[in-house]
Amino acid sequence: SLKKYRKLAIESYGTALQTFAGESNHSRDVYRLISMWFRNCDSMDDINIDNTLQKIPSYHFVPLIYQIFSRISGNDKHAFEPNQFQTILQKLISRVCEEHPYHGIVQMIALSNGNTVDNLTYSENVGASKSEESKKLLMRVKKRSNFLSELVDSYILLTDSIIDLALAPTKQLVERRMLKKIPFSKVQNSNKSLVNIMRRCNYKPCILTKLPHIQPGRDYGNGKDNPPGSELIDKFVAHFSITDSGVHRPKIVVCVSSKGNEFTQLVKGNDDIRQDAVLQQVFSTVNMLLSSRKRINDRHLKLVTYSCVPLSPIAGILQWVDNTAPMRDFLVKAHPRYYPNDWSLTCCSLHYKDGPKETKRQTYDEVCRHLR
């Protein structure tokens, strides 16, 4: 029967993930396992999925943090999954946060910030139930050890400060052409300023846009040493900049690590970057699949990715990518080179702007004919 084969498949995936190292081809089995679990969460009575998940090393689940954590829901009338599903799910999430804190805590905080959004457009996709349950889970994680408690508090201080900066209005600064080396005091109170909050952290968070390498042995330095593949935050440079373009004019900050290395980061507000983060996750998965093919791996084919870290439905921080240009800037220069007989962008804009209102559509069609 279908239930029999489903049970066999889940048990087989679980055995494979218990047995093989994460670098083997079996690492993709976690995607199949989680997919089967989520699709059949209301009809798993014959399968001890909790026992299967508990036997699988937690590092296998870290690449799927966004998908797993997003299923959190309270056991109220708005929760659509059975309570047993939520119990097992939250047990798994707690284990991931405890054993891989630098990967899990930030996502939990982002979910808990969901009901702090006033904008209905952004808050519809979060829900008070998910946010409240995330806060409860964070409190449970904090009780596991003094290190986790202090680390969660440090991340909350840091993320609150970044969100405050992201949402700070910059209209007056832009009008005064004050775009570079702006003191944080211009837009933040001293108790929220990025310059000051790191002094209040007993255990320093790691660079948000440079997560540690996933450690099967769960050794991340315990807050004293730099986690492998990342560095702890020491401070932020005492000023920020505003980008030259962008709908909401993101801010540029520079984070200094405990090793003295500087990391430029982009702080965005009034913008939902959760979809950007998932898209980068998809690209990373594509790279993993490409690297598993020897012929492709030998040619070093891969998609270039960058780090996107949502901190709430309307704010987040992104890795600054050097040696890049906005697509518009590239097209403005490249189009005349390949299509020298086309109208220039300025000509097109003026022609459309000066066209009569009653013939705007005809004017637009004419512009399209002269701009391929």
Bigger pLDDT: 372 vs 307: 307
Question: How confident is the model over 278-284, as a mean pLDDT?
Answer: 91
Contacts of residue 177, Cβ cutoff 8 Å, sequence gap at least 6: none
Residue 104 Cα distances to 91, 111, 147, 294, 348, angstroms: 13, 11, 15, 32, 49
Report the residue count for the chain. Answer: 372
pLDDT of 148 reads 96
Confidence of residue 77 (pLDDT cuts 50, 70, 90): very low
pLDDT at 182 over 90: yes
Rounded Cα distance between 337 and 328, Å, is 15
Rounded Cα distance between 62 and 65, Å, is 5
pTM attached to this predicted model: 0.86
pLDDT, one tens digit per residue, over 286-320 is 888 888 888 888 888 889 999 999 999 999 999 99
Neighbours of 217 (CB within 10 A): 9
Residue 284 C-alpha from the chain's centroid:
13
Please, what is the Cα angle at 318 between 312 and 320, to 5 degrees? 165
pLDDT, one tens digit per residue, over 166-181 is 999 998 998 899 999 9
Contacts of residue 188, Cβ cutoff 8 Å, sequence gap at least 6: 161, 164, 165, 168, 194
Q: Are 284 and 86 in contact (CB under 8 A)?
A: no
* Residue 263: φ, ψ to 5°: -125, 115
Which range among 3-7, 23-27, 145-149, 209-213 shows the weakest confidence by mean pLDDT? 23-27
Please, what is the Cα angle at 231 between 228 and 234, to 5 degrees? 155
Report the share of the chain in percent with pLDDT over 90: 63
Bigger pLDDT: 333 vs 74: 333
Give me the residues paired with residue 255 across strands: 236, 263
pLDDT of 23 reads 52
Contacts of residue 65, Cβ cutoff 8 Å, sequence gap at least 6: 96, 103, 104, 107
